[in-house]
Structure 1
Amino acid sequence: MSDALKARALRLLSGREHSRAELARKLGTQADPDSIEALLDRLEALDLLSDARFADSYVRSRQARLGDRRLRQELKQKGVAEHLIDAALHGSTEGEDLERARQVWHKKFGTAPADAREWARQARFLQGRGFAADVIHKLLKDCDDEPA
């Protein structure tokens, strides 16, 4: 394991948390795969690299803007194990997801959809942000029920 590889890994980790797979990808051009795996094992042993900590940090930083489905998908793409994703998202309830969706919706639109076309546009936006269909329906139904 070269000192330059270790220094690069520590520099990356000092900026923010990384998943193991993400760090391996970033270091991939620097050395052979065996050296990288050995370094990642060592960093995990020293608790400098942790997929659980990365998942928690990732969820905290993006949870205000994204639904649980989108967070789950992004964490999977970053190579985080399913049980760690479940642990990071464990505290989220449907009520919290609805409130986050309401905040995202209000910031983007603020007014109830006037017709079916606008309703569909708003629903697609929220779906793209990773909110569940039932949450979207509740939110947009509540918007219609609000007095003008």
Structure 2
Amino acid sequence: MVNISVLRMAAMNLLAMREHSRAELHKKLSQRFDNHPGVDDALNQLAADGLQSDSRFAEAFTRMRFRQGKGPRRVTQELSERGITGSLAQTALWEQELDWFDLCLNTRARRFGEQAPTDLKEKARQIRFLQYRGFDSEQIRYALDGQSQ
């Protein structure tokens, strides 16, 4: 029979590998233990003990995606897919010392070189790439024109 301590240990094993959001842990544990009714209790205990934190997950996830060259819109979408929405996602995005404008500029330069695009077709291609990466229009304008916000 599965009890809370077994669920807690399974969750702790997942957390030992990387930070997880509560929603991710709930999904994984529910799949593994056939929607056991004690999953929520185990997750509540982990949160109360400080072993699982959605805010810590959101901050770590945001830093990881920033290092990968992903923009704030893409990161927000991915956080939402992992159960982090609203103010928690915004806090993770904007209260850290992350320069999204500089990241957009560097991401464009890494992909297309330092030279700014000269024709409209190439400029449109670079804009689409940066939009896909999750940057907003101000950040893209900064990366393409070198202009400040």
| Bucket of the pairwise TM-score, normalised by the shorter protein | 0.7 to 0.9
SS of residue paired to 1:28 = helix
Deviates most, 48-57 or 113-122: 113-122
Q: Structure 2: which 5+ runs fail to align?
A: none
Q: Does 1:125 align with 2:129?
A: yes
| Structure 1 stretches of 4+ moved >3 Å | none
Q: Is the 8 A contact 1:101 1:136 kept in 2?
A: yes
Please report the RMSD computed on the Cα atoms of aligned residues, expressed in angstroms.
2.0
Q: Is the 8 A contact 1:55 1:88 kept in 2?
A: yes
Q: Is the 8 A contact 1:98 1:135 kept in 2?
A: yes
1:112, CA displacement in angstroms? 2.1
**Structure 2 CA distance for partners of 1:66 and 1:116, relative to 1, 3 Å:** same
2:15 alignment partner, one of 5, 13, 16: 13
Could you tell me the TM-score, scaled by structure 1's length? Answer: 0.86
**Matches of 2:83 and 2:143 in 1, distance apart?**
32
Q: Does 1:61 align with 2:64?
A: yes
* Number of equivalences: 142
SS of residue paired to 1:29 = helix
Alignment identity in percent? 37
Aligned to 2:46: 43
**Matches of 1:25 and 1:90 in 2, distance apart?**
28
